[in-house]
C-alpha cells in the first residue's frame, strides 16, 4: 500500500480513522476474508467526500463496506482501499414523521428508534443486520416491505468527490438494486418517511417478524443472508431444496439444513469454499430446473 496515500487519507479525516491490514473476517458476517490493506472510516459526509477526492488524486480504485452482512471477502485479502461507513457515522434524528439516519446506523437501531418514537414503516427491517447505507444501495427488504417503500431522499458522495442529494424517484429502486449501486457513490445519509402508530403495536409486529426470522433462518451460524437472488419463476430456497442440496458442503461452507437459501460458515470456511459451493448449487439447480441462480452476496476480488 502506498504510504503517501495512507498519509493523505489520515490528513483528509481529522475525526475519522484509518486501519491497516485489518482482517476482513472480523468485519463481515460470514467471518471469512484476509486482511484489507487500508480502510478509511470517515466520520462525516464531508470527510467521506475528502477521502474520495484523495483517492481520485492518487487514481486509486476503492471498495465500499457497510456492516459487511452481504459481502464475501477473498481469502487473500483486499489490496485496494476500502471506505467503511459504520459507527462513526450512525446518528439518528427525528423531525415530525421523518427519521433521518446517517448511513452507518444499523437498520435494527433505526427501526427501534422509529418504534420508540411511535413511527411505523420499518418493522420489516428490524431484523436485517445491515447498515442503512448498505440497505438503501441495494433496497433491502423482507416480509413484504423494502426500503424503497419508506425512503424520501438520500444523501451521497459521488465518485467525483462531491456531495449530492437524490429523491426517491432518482434512486430508481428495483428488486435489490438502486441507481447508485456499483457507481462508486457512497451513501452518507437517508431521510425516511414513516407513519404515526401505536408504539406497543409496532413493537409487537417487530417481535413477531423477528420470531419468524429466528424460527426459519440459521442465525446461529455466520452467513451473509440469502445467498441467491429470487429468480423469476421461483424461490431460490425452494429450487435448492428440490435439487436435494440441503446440507451439501464444501470445506467449512454448507447449504443450511434449516433454510436452503442460506450458505453458512459451519466453522473454518474459506472464501474459496463458499464460491465453490455457490457454483455447485448453481450447476445442480440449473440441471434440475433450467433456472440460473444469480448470487445476491457481493463476491469481492483482491484488486490491485
121 binds ligand FAD (CB under 6 A): no
Nearer to ligand FAD, 186 or 202 (CB): 186
Q: Are residues 60 and 80 in contact, defined by beta-carbon separation less than 8 angstroms?
A: yes
HSE on the CB side for 118, CA within 13 Å?
A: 4
| Partner residues linked to 83 by β-bridges | 40, 64
Q: Pick the binder of ligand FAD from 130, 252, 261, 295 (CB under 6 A).
A: 130
Catalytic, out of 25, 88, 126, 226: 226
CB atoms within 10 A of CB 205: 17
Express the helix, strand and coil content of the chain in percent, nearest 5 each: 35, 25, 40
70 binds ligand FAD (CB under 6 A): yes
Enumerate residues 6+ apart whose C-beta is below 8 A from 176.
138, 139, 140, 141, 229, 296
Enumerate residues 6+ apart whose C-beta is below 8 A from 68.
24, 27, 28, 29
25 binds ligand FAD (CB under 6 A): no
Total of residues contacting ligand FAD (CB under 6 A)? 31
Nearer to ligand FAD, 115 or 218 (CB): 218
With vertex at residue 135, the alpha carbon angle to CA 263 and CA 265, rounded to the nearest 5 degrees, is 20
Active site residue 176: yes
Stretch touching ligand FAD by CB under 6 A, among 8-16, 92-100, 219-227, 287-295: 219-227
Residues 264-303 that bind ligand FAD (CB under 6 A): 298
d(CA 89, CA 134): 13
Stretch touching ligand FAD by CB under 6 A, among 112-120, 216-224, 252-260, 269-277: 216-224
Active site residue 152: no
Helix (H, G, I), strand (E, B) or coil at 53: helix
Q: Pick the binder of ligand FAD from 103, 209, 240, 243 (CB under 6 A).
A: 103
Active site residue 112: no
Q: Are residues 218 and 264 in contact, defined by beta-carbon separation less than 8 angstroms?
A: yes
Residues 132-191 that bind ligand FAD (CB under 6 A): 133-135, 137-138, 140-142, 186-187
Return the active site residues: 176, 226, 296
Positions touching ligand FAD (CB under 6 A) are: 29, 64-71, 85, 103, 128-131, 133-135, 137-138, 140-142, 186-187, 217, 219, 223-225, 298
Amino acid at each position: 500500500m502506498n504510504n503517501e496515500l495512507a498519509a493523505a487519507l489520515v490528513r483528509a479525516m481529522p475525526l475519522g480513522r484509518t486501519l491497516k491490514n485489518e482482517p476482513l473476517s472480523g468485519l463481515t458476517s460470514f467471518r471469512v476474508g484476509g486482511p484489507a490493506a487500508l480502510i478509511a472510516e470517515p466520520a462525516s459526509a464531508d470527510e467521506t467526500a475528502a477521502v474520495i477526492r484523495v483517492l481520485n488524486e492518487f487514481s486509486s480504485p476503492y471498495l465500499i463496506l457497510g456492516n459487511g452482512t452481504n459481502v464475501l471477502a477473498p481469502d487473500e485479502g483486499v489490496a485496494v482501499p476500502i471506505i467503511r461507513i459504520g459507527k462513526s457515522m450512525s446518528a439518528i434524528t427525528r423531525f415530525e414523521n421523518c427519521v433521518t439516519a446517517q448511513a452507518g446506523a444499523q437498520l435494527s437501531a433505526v427501526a427501534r428508534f422509529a418504534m420508540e418514537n411511535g413511527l411505523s414503516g420499518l418493522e420489516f427491517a428490524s431484523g436485517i443486520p445491515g447498515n442503512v447505507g448498505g440497505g438503501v444501495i441495494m433496497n433491502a427488504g423482507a416480509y413484504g416491505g423494502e426500503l424503497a417503500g419508506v425512503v424520501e431522499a438520500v444523501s451521497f458522495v459521488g465518485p467525483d468527490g462531491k456531495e449530492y442529494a437524490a429523491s426517491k424517484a432518482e434512486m430508481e429502486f428495483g428488486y435489490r438494486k438502486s441507481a447508485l449501486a456499483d457507481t462508486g457513490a457512497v451513501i452518507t445519509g437517508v431521510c425516511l418517511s414513516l407513519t404515526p402508530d401505536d408504539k406497543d403495536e409496532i413493537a409487537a409486529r417487530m417481535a413477531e417478524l423477528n420470531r419468524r426470522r429466528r424460527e426459519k433462518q440459521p442465525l446461529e451460524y455466520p452467513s451473509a443472508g440469502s445467498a441467491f437472488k429470487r429468480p423469476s419463476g421461483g424461490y431460490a430456497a425452494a429450487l435448492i431444496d428440490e435439487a436435494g442440496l440441503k446440507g451439501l458442503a464444501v470445506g467449512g461452507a454448507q447449504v443450511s439444513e434449516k433454510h436452503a437459501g442460506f450458505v453458512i460458515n459451519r466453522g473454518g470456511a474459506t472464501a474459496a469454499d463458499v464460491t465453490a459451493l455457490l457454483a455447485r448449487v448453481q450447476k445442480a439447480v440449473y440441471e434440475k430446473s433450467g433456472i440460473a441462480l444469480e448470487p445476491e452476496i457481493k463476491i469481492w476480488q483482491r484488486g490491485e
